Amino acid sequence: MTAVLGAGLVLAGGGLVALSFATAVPPSSPVPDLAGYLVRWRRLHGGYDPRANPWLWGWLAMSYRIARPLARRGVRPDVLTLWTVWLALAVLVPAAAGGRWQILAGWLLVASGLGDTLDGCVAALTNRATRWGYVLDSLVDRVNDVVYLLAVVVVGGAGVLALVAGVCLGLLEYLRARAANVGMGDVGVVTVGERATRVILCAAAIGLGGVFTRAAPLVASGGLAALAVASAAGLAQLGVAVHRGLGAGRRY
Protein backbone atom coordinates (compact mmCIF):
# COMPACT_ATOMS: atom_id res chain seq x y z
CA MET A 1 0.00 0.00 0.00
CA THR A 2 2.80 2.40 0.89
CA ALA A 3 4.59 1.59 -2.37
CA VAL A 4 1.43 2.35 -4.36
CA LEU A 5 0.98 5.66 -2.53
CA GLY A 6 4.62 6.55 -3.11
CA ALA A 7 4.39 5.81 -6.84
CA GLY A 8 1.21 7.84 -7.09
CA LEU A 9 2.84 10.75 -5.32
CA VAL A 10 5.80 10.69 -7.73
CA LEU A 11 3.48 10.88 -10.72
CA ALA A 12 1.29 13.54 -9.13
CA GLY A 13 4.35 15.56 -8.11
CA GLY A 14 5.64 15.55 -11.67
CA GLY A 15 2.27 16.77 -12.88
CA LEU A 16 2.19 19.56 -10.32
CA VAL A 17 5.69 20.72 -11.28
CA ALA A 18 4.63 20.90 -14.91
CA LEU A 19 1.41 22.69 -13.95
CA SER A 20 3.32 25.19 -11.81
CA PHE A 21 5.51 26.24 -14.74
CA ALA A 22 2.80 26.07 -17.39
CA THR A 23 0.33 28.31 -15.55
CA ALA A 24 2.78 30.84 -14.07
CA VAL A 25 2.13 34.43 -15.15
CA PRO A 26 4.23 37.24 -13.59
CA PRO A 27 2.07 39.95 -11.97
CA SER A 28 1.49 43.15 -13.90
CA SER A 29 2.26 45.37 -10.89
CA PRO A 30 5.12 45.31 -8.33
CA VAL A 31 4.75 42.94 -5.40
CA PRO A 32 4.11 45.00 -2.23
CA ASP A 33 6.30 45.04 0.85
CA LEU A 34 5.35 43.38 4.14
CA ALA A 35 3.29 46.38 5.31
CA GLY A 36 1.37 46.39 2.05
CA TYR A 37 0.72 42.67 2.32
CA LEU A 38 -0.68 43.02 5.83
CA VAL A 39 -3.05 45.73 4.60
CA ARG A 40 -4.31 43.41 1.86
CA TRP A 41 -4.55 40.48 4.29
CA ARG A 42 -6.65 42.58 6.63
CA ARG A 43 -8.98 43.56 3.79
CA LEU A 44 -9.47 39.92 2.83
CA HIS A 45 -10.17 38.80 6.42
CA GLY A 46 -13.01 41.02 7.50
CA GLY A 47 -10.83 43.87 8.76
CA TYR A 48 -9.07 41.81 11.44
CA ASP A 49 -5.72 43.41 12.31
CA PRO A 50 -3.02 40.69 12.54
CA ARG A 51 -0.78 43.00 14.55
CA ALA A 52 -3.14 42.46 17.49
CA ASN A 53 -1.79 38.91 17.79
CA PRO A 54 2.04 38.59 17.87
CA TRP A 55 1.89 34.88 17.00
CA LEU A 56 -0.28 35.50 13.93
CA TRP A 57 1.81 38.47 12.85
CA GLY A 58 5.01 36.42 13.08
CA TRP A 59 3.46 33.55 11.11
CA LEU A 60 2.30 35.93 8.36
CA ALA A 61 5.66 37.70 8.23
CA MET A 62 7.48 34.39 7.78
CA SER A 63 5.03 33.33 5.08
CA TYR A 64 5.50 36.63 3.28
CA ARG A 65 9.26 36.16 3.00
CA ILE A 66 8.78 32.74 1.42
CA ALA A 67 5.82 33.71 -0.76
CA ARG A 68 7.27 36.89 -2.24
CA PRO A 69 9.65 35.13 -4.70
CA LEU A 70 6.80 32.83 -5.77
CA ALA A 71 4.55 35.84 -6.34
CA ARG A 72 7.20 37.54 -8.45
CA ARG A 73 7.44 34.46 -10.66
CA GLY A 74 3.68 34.37 -11.05
CA VAL A 75 2.97 30.97 -9.49
CA ARG A 76 -0.79 30.49 -9.28
CA PRO A 77 -2.31 30.39 -5.77
CA ASP A 78 -4.57 27.46 -6.68
CA VAL A 79 -1.54 25.41 -7.74
CA LEU A 80 0.09 26.09 -4.36
CA THR A 81 -3.12 24.92 -2.69
CA LEU A 82 -2.86 21.62 -4.56
CA TRP A 83 0.77 21.29 -3.47
CA THR A 84 -0.35 21.31 0.17
CA VAL A 85 -2.48 18.22 -0.48
CA TRP A 86 0.49 16.50 -2.11
CA LEU A 87 2.70 17.29 0.86
CA ALA A 88 0.04 16.13 3.33
CA LEU A 89 -0.30 12.77 1.56
CA ALA A 90 3.49 12.51 1.34
CA VAL A 91 3.58 12.57 5.16
CA LEU A 92 1.95 9.14 5.22
CA VAL A 93 4.88 7.40 3.47
CA PRO A 94 7.66 8.07 6.02
CA ALA A 95 5.09 7.93 8.84
CA ALA A 96 4.20 4.37 7.86
CA ALA A 97 7.90 3.47 7.68
CA GLY A 98 8.26 4.45 11.36
CA GLY A 99 11.49 4.78 13.28
CA ARG A 100 13.71 7.71 12.33
CA TRP A 101 11.63 8.25 9.20
CA GLN A 102 9.05 9.92 11.41
CA ILE A 103 11.33 12.95 11.71
CA LEU A 104 11.04 13.47 7.95
CA ALA A 105 7.27 12.96 8.19
CA GLY A 106 7.04 15.69 10.81
CA TRP A 107 8.90 18.20 8.63
CA LEU A 108 6.79 17.34 5.60
CA LEU A 109 3.71 18.07 7.68
CA VAL A 110 5.14 21.47 8.64
CA ALA A 111 5.81 22.20 4.95
CA SER A 112 2.22 21.29 4.10
CA GLY A 113 0.86 23.53 6.84
CA LEU A 114 3.05 26.43 5.79
CA GLY A 115 1.90 25.98 2.20
CA ASP A 116 -1.64 26.63 3.38
CA THR A 117 -0.57 30.16 4.28
CA LEU A 118 1.58 30.63 1.18
CA ASP A 119 -1.28 30.24 -1.29
CA GLY A 120 -3.30 32.97 0.41
CA CYS A 121 -0.21 35.15 0.70
CA VAL A 122 0.57 34.83 -3.02
CA ALA A 123 -3.08 35.54 -3.87
CA ALA A 124 -2.99 38.73 -1.81
CA LEU A 125 0.39 39.85 -3.18
CA THR A 126 -0.67 39.40 -6.80
CA ASN A 127 -4.31 40.52 -6.43
CA ARG A 128 -5.49 37.07 -7.52
CA ALA A 129 -7.73 36.29 -4.56
CA THR A 130 -10.99 34.82 -5.87
CA ARG A 131 -14.14 33.37 -4.36
CA TRP A 132 -13.31 30.00 -5.93
CA GLY A 133 -9.83 30.14 -4.42
CA TYR A 134 -11.36 30.85 -1.02
CA VAL A 135 -13.69 27.84 -1.28
CA LEU A 136 -10.93 25.57 -2.62
CA ASP A 137 -8.55 26.61 0.14
CA SER A 138 -11.16 25.92 2.84
CA LEU A 139 -11.99 22.52 1.36
CA VAL A 140 -8.32 21.53 1.07
CA ASP A 141 -7.69 22.64 4.65
CA ARG A 142 -10.29 20.22 5.95
CA VAL A 143 -8.92 17.40 3.79
CA ASN A 144 -5.41 18.07 5.07
CA ASP A 145 -6.63 18.18 8.67
CA VAL A 146 -7.99 14.65 8.25
CA VAL A 147 -4.74 13.44 6.64
CA TYR A 148 -2.66 14.95 9.46
CA LEU A 149 -4.76 13.13 12.08
CA LEU A 150 -4.52 9.91 10.09
CA ALA A 151 -0.74 10.25 9.95
CA VAL A 152 -0.57 10.58 13.74
CA VAL A 153 -2.70 7.45 14.11
CA VAL A 154 -0.40 5.63 11.67
CA VAL A 155 2.59 6.23 13.97
CA GLY A 156 0.69 4.88 16.98
CA GLY A 157 -1.67 7.61 18.16
CA ALA A 158 -4.96 6.57 19.74
CA GLY A 159 -7.81 6.57 17.23
CA VAL A 160 -10.32 7.75 19.83
CA LEU A 161 -8.23 10.84 20.59
CA ALA A 162 -7.88 11.55 16.87
CA LEU A 163 -11.67 11.33 16.51
CA VAL A 164 -12.26 13.71 19.44
CA ALA A 165 -9.70 16.19 18.10
CA GLY A 166 -11.19 15.96 14.62
CA VAL A 167 -14.73 16.62 15.84
CA CYS A 168 -13.65 19.62 17.92
CA LEU A 169 -11.58 21.26 15.21
CA GLY A 170 -14.27 20.52 12.63
CA LEU A 171 -16.92 22.19 14.80
CA LEU A 172 -14.61 25.16 15.34
CA GLU A 173 -14.26 25.74 11.61
CA TYR A 174 -17.96 25.12 11.01
CA LEU A 175 -18.91 27.67 13.66
CA ARG A 176 -16.57 30.23 12.11
CA ALA A 177 -18.00 29.65 8.65
CA ARG A 178 -21.61 29.94 9.82
CA ALA A 179 -20.85 33.08 11.80
CA ALA A 180 -19.27 34.63 8.71
CA ASN A 181 -22.39 33.75 6.71
CA VAL A 182 -24.58 35.84 9.01
CA GLY A 183 -22.37 38.89 9.09
CA MET A 184 -19.39 38.28 11.34
CA GLY A 185 -15.89 38.66 9.93
CA ASP A 186 -14.43 35.41 8.62
CA VAL A 187 -11.71 35.46 11.31
CA GLY A 188 -13.81 36.64 14.24
CA VAL A 189 -11.15 35.88 16.83
CA VAL A 190 -7.81 34.10 16.76
CA THR A 191 -8.19 31.14 19.14
CA VAL A 192 -5.77 28.69 20.74
CA GLY A 193 -7.06 26.04 18.34
CA GLU A 194 -6.09 27.67 15.05
CA ARG A 195 -4.59 25.72 12.18
CA ALA A 196 -1.04 26.72 13.05
CA THR A 197 -1.53 25.04 16.43
CA ARG A 198 -2.80 21.88 14.73
CA VAL A 199 0.18 21.77 12.40
CA ILE A 200 2.67 22.23 15.24
CA LEU A 201 1.07 19.63 17.52
CA CYS A 202 0.62 17.02 14.80
CA ALA A 203 4.15 17.58 13.50
CA ALA A 204 5.54 17.24 17.02
CA ALA A 205 3.43 14.13 17.70
CA ILE A 206 4.95 12.48 14.63
CA GLY A 207 8.45 13.94 14.51
CA LEU A 208 9.32 13.52 18.19
CA GLY A 209 8.32 9.89 17.89
CA GLY A 210 11.22 9.57 15.48
CA VAL A 211 13.55 10.89 18.19
CA PHE A 212 12.10 8.84 21.04
CA THR A 213 11.35 5.75 18.98
CA ARG A 214 10.52 3.46 21.90
CA ALA A 215 7.87 5.88 23.11
CA ALA A 216 6.49 6.79 19.68
CA PRO A 217 2.89 5.65 20.39
CA LEU A 218 2.87 7.52 23.70
CA VAL A 219 4.23 10.68 22.08
CA ALA A 220 1.65 10.43 19.29
CA SER A 221 -1.24 9.98 21.71
CA GLY A 222 0.03 12.84 23.85
CA GLY A 223 0.05 15.11 20.81
CA LEU A 224 -3.49 14.11 19.94
CA ALA A 225 -4.64 14.73 23.51
CA ALA A 226 -3.06 18.19 23.44
CA LEU A 227 -4.72 18.88 20.09
CA ALA A 228 -8.11 17.77 21.40
CA VAL A 229 -7.79 20.11 24.38
CA ALA A 230 -6.61 23.04 22.24
CA SER A 231 -9.40 22.50 19.70
CA ALA A 232 -12.07 22.24 22.40
CA ALA A 233 -10.75 25.38 24.09
CA GLY A 234 -10.64 27.18 20.74
CA LEU A 235 -14.22 26.14 20.03
CA ALA A 236 -15.35 27.54 23.37
CA GLN A 237 -13.34 30.73 22.84
CA LEU A 238 -14.83 31.27 19.39
CA GLY A 239 -18.32 30.45 20.66
CA VAL A 240 -18.11 33.22 23.24
CA ALA A 241 -16.80 35.68 20.64
CA VAL A 242 -19.55 34.80 18.16
CA HIS A 243 -22.21 35.08 20.86
CA ARG A 244 -20.98 38.55 21.77
CA GLY A 245 -20.30 39.67 18.22
CA LEU A 246 -23.62 38.70 16.73
CA GLY A 247 -25.82 39.33 19.72
CA ALA A 248 -27.62 36.37 21.28
CA GLY A 249 -31.08 37.91 21.19
CA ARG A 250 -31.04 39.54 17.76
CA ARG A 251 -33.05 38.17 14.86
CA TYR A 252 -31.91 38.27 11.29
CA dist 208 and 133 (Å) reads 34
Name the nearest CA neighbour of 157 among 97, 223, 100, 214: 223
pLDDT of residue 248: 55
pLDDT of residue 59: 80
pLDDT of residue 252: 46
Return the domain boundaries, the chain.
2-246
Contact predicate 188/176, CB 8 Å: yes
Domain 2-246 architecture: Up-down Bundle (1.20)
pLDDT of residue 17: 92
**Per-residue pLDDT of the chain in tens (252 residues, 90 and over written 9):** 678 888 899 999 999 999 999 999 998 889 999 999 988 888 877 777 887 778 778 888 888 999 999 999 999 999 999 999 999 999 999 999 999 999 999 999 999 998 888 998 998 899 888 889 888 998 999 999 999 999 999 999 999 999 999 999 999 999 988 888 777 765 557 889 988 899 999 999 999 999 999 999 999 999 999 999 999 999 999 999 888 877 755 554
Rg (CA), the chain: 19
Judged by phi (left if over 0) then psi (alpha if -120 to 50, else beta), residue 251 lies in beta
pLDDT of residue 156: 96
